[in-house]
């Protein structure tokens, strides 16, 4: 079983014996639905009618002129609930329904995945319980309220660091005793097989659309794709459309926190080492003794102390490159996009924008065509940005 879902040496299934039947049931259902015409038709319908797909591939003309490259933005920020996360919750919610499950559980840090799960639960008539570290519940009161409005229960997790990684452990624990009626809806390309592959499948709609759209607009493939990496789902989604096009450069941007030279960083690939966390082998931020570190970034969505195993693999074979962007650089890019294009990006996405600007300004990259995956909108981040900018001015 641990040899399933391998990306080189990464990935696999490292879970307690008791969870094996649940994972096997899920794997079988996923492969069956993936081939099922009715399932995929319904999936497409929800993408279109509920989420608002396809999203635009938007030519950022003002920014492009300023930095000397052609920059296109894949507008996942325009989706329902404000980010790409809805692509995955629709897919897994529908899958749960096909499996005859009546309840979804999910983990959430800042609350974005919790909200995306709560709304699909409401839409499909499934009960939802969201596990959330008690520290995060305190910090994200408004998002807790949003989840509750859609009928979800929010369960504070009071163990360990009382944040995301502990809520994932609690969700797994609950799933062990509730698997008969419950699907665990993981929010990113992490966890044991089949999760990384499954989440990638549901997010691959981003890459499929982007590839078609750039060919229509430019008549050729882009030189470079740039996307931010938390657990790795929006980046895997857009990368998947171009993985086989070896001339297209793929760049994942990690949250460098206060800077990778400090301990306060979310840059898992740049600073992490091989380790097993939450069911798979990947790069993990940990001490020499294997203690998991707290990832730290101004954007909560980039705070996960590990990264999807396929990213660790793409890094190891040099198919994709991973770079850190620190908090200040992200905040600057946030303002730059607001000013030049009138688009307010999520702080996570601002990391990708920041690297795109840096990249475009290098002499060797002049005139290149770049697609930046704008994973989400920044409305959720107003309180953080206004606080940070006050400190700076």
Ligand X SMILES: *Cc1c(COP(=O)(O)O)cnc(C)c1O
Q: Residue 188, interface with ligand X (CB under 6 A)?
A: yes
Residue 351 beta carbon to ligand X: minimum distance, rounded to whole angstroms = 9
Q: Determine whether 310 is exposed, middle or buried from the number of CB atoms within 10 Å of its CB (0-12, 13-18, 19+).
A: buried
Q: Residue 165, interface with ligand X (CB under 6 A)?
A: no
Integer Cα distance of 275 and 286 in angstroms: 8
Do residues 353 and 245 touch, judged by C-beta distance below 8 A?
no
Residue 97 beta carbon to ligand X: minimum distance, rounded to whole angstroms = 23
Q: Residue 303, interface with ligand X (CB under 6 A)?
A: no
- Pick from 12, 114, 121, 232 the residue near ligand X by CB under 6 A: 232
Do residues 119 and 157 touch, judged by C-beta distance below 8 A?
no
Measure CA of the first residue to CA of the last residue in the chain; give whole Å: 55
Cα–Cα nearest to 181, from 25, 30, 38: 25
Q: Residue 375, interface with ligand X (CB under 6 A)?
A: yes
The residue from 27, 107, 254, 310 that is catalytic is 107
DSSP letter for each residue of 92-108: HHHHHHHTT--EEEEEE
- Pick from 346, 357, 360, 371 the residue near ligand X by CB under 6 A: 346
Residue 197 beta carbon to ligand X: minimum distance, rounded to whole angstroms = 14
Who contacts 204 (Cβ-Cβ below 8 Å, separation ≥6)? Answer: 236, 237, 240, 241
Integer Cα distance of 303 and 222 in angstroms: 29
Q: Annotated catalytic, 138?
A: no
Q: Which is nearer to ligand X, 179 or 298 (CB)?
A: 298
Of residues 1-60, those binding ligand X (CB under 6 A)? none
Cα–Cα nearest to 172, from 111, 233, 118, 107: 107
Q: Residue 348, interface with ligand X (CB under 6 A)?
A: yes
Who contacts 44 (Cβ-Cβ below 8 Å, separation ≥6)? Answer: none
Q: Residue 230, interface with ligand X (CB under 6 A)?
A: yes
- Pick from 229, 248, 253, 371 the residue near ligand X by CB under 6 A: 229
Q: Which is nearer to ligand X, 188 or 326 (CB)?
A: 188
Q: Residue 64, interface with ligand X (CB under 6 A)?
A: no
Q: Residue 285, interface with ligand X (CB under 6 A)?
A: no
Q: Residue 163, interface with ligand X (CB under 6 A)?
A: no
Report CA dihedral (254, 259, 265, 267) to the nearest 10 degrees. Answer: 30
Residue 327 beta carbon to ligand X: minimum distance, rounded to whole angstroms = 15
Query: Mask 94-123, x = binds ligand X (CB under 6 A)?
Result: ------------------x-----------
**CB neighbours (10 Å) of residue 105?**
24
Q: Which is nearer to ligand X, 89 or 365 (CB)?
A: 89
Q: Annotated catalytic, 375?
A: yes
Q: Determine whether 289 is exposed, middle or buried from the number of CB atoms within 10 Å of its CB (0-12, 13-18, 19+).
A: exposed
Q: Annotated catalytic, 296?
A: no
Catalytic residues: 85, 107, 375
Chain contacts with ligand X (rule: CB under 6 A): 83, 85, 112, 188, 228-235, 301, 346, 348-349, 375-376
């Amino acid at each position: 079983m641990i040899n399933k879902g391998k990306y080189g040496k990464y990935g696999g299934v490292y879970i307690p014996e008791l969870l094996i039947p649940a994972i096997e049931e899920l794997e079988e259902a996923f492969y069956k639905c993936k081939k099922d015409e009715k399932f995929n038709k319904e999936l497409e319908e929800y993408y279109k009618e509920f989420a608002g797909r396809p999203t635009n591939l938007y030519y950022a003309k003002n920014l492009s002129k300023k930095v000397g490259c052609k920059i296109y933005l894949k507008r996942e920020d325009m989706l329902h609930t404000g980010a790409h996360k809805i692509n995955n919750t629709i897919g897994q919610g529908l899958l749960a329904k096909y499996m005859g499950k009546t309840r979804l559980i999910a983990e959430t840090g800042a609350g974005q995945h919790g909200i995306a799960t709560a709304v699909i639960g409401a839409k499909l008539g499934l009960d939802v319980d969201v596990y959330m570290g008690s520290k995060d519940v305190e910090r994200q009161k408004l998002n807790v309220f949003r989840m509750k409005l859609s009928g979800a229960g929010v369960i504070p997790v009071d163990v360990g660091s009382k944040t995301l990684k502990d809520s994932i452990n609690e969700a797994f624990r609950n799933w062990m005793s509730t698997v008969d009626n419950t699907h665990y809806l993981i929010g990113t390309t992490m966890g044991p097989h089949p999760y990384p592959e499954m989440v990638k499948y549901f997010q691959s709609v981003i890459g499929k659309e982007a590839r078609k759209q750039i060919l229509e607009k430019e008549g050729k493939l882009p030189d470079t794709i740039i996307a931010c990496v938390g657990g790795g789902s929006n980046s895997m989604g857009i990368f998947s459309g171009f993985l086989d096009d070896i001339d297209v450069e793929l760049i994942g941007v990690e949250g460098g926190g206060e800077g990778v030279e400090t301990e306060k960083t979310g840059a898992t690939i740049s600073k992490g080492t091989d380790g097993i966390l939450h069911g798979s082998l990947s790069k993990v931020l940990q001490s020499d003794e294997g203690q998991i570190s707290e990832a730290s970034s101004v954007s909560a969505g980039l705070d996960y102390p590990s990264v999807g195993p396929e990213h660790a693999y793409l890094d190891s074979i040099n198919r994709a490159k991973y770079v850190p962007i620190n908090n200040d650089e992200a905040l600057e890019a946030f303002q730059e996009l607001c000013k030049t294009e009138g688009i307010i990006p999520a702080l996570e996405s601002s990391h990708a924008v920041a690297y795109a600007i840096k990249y475009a300004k290098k002499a060797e990259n002049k005139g290149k065509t770049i697609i930046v995956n704008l994973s989400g909108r920044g409305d959720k981040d107003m309180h953080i940005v206004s606080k940070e900018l006050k400190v700076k001015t």
